[in-house]
Structure 1
């Protein structure tokens, strides 16, 4: 289960209310316990409107044998 531990975002362009926004996420690191992602958001014209770095710690669920 991913648990967010950090989000840092920069908004560089406004999008009108009702405008379509598309996100593209790229994994920078997907280790056993830590995942770091870069997320870029684009408007309908394909212009960058926001960029973010998201860091999650991965909490593994216990199996039936571990309970």
Structure 2
């Protein structure tokens, strides 16, 4: 990720499963068009950077799969 903005990481309020979750930094979606995603258990590990559109599609897919 090539930006000088600092990601503001958060975990979903639905993530009460004992730490097996991901963190996202949605604050970069508006300014840079990306949503970084990382493993909450390994915050210094790799970061997957999705376009805002790809992240939205991923969330919609997850909602339909869990309906």
Shared fold (TM-score greater than 0.5)? no
TM-score (norm 2): 0.32
TM-score, length basis structure 1: 0.32
Higher relative contact order (CA 8 A, sep 6+): 1
Q: Which has the higher strand share?
A: 1
Q: Which has the larger radius of gyration?
A: 1
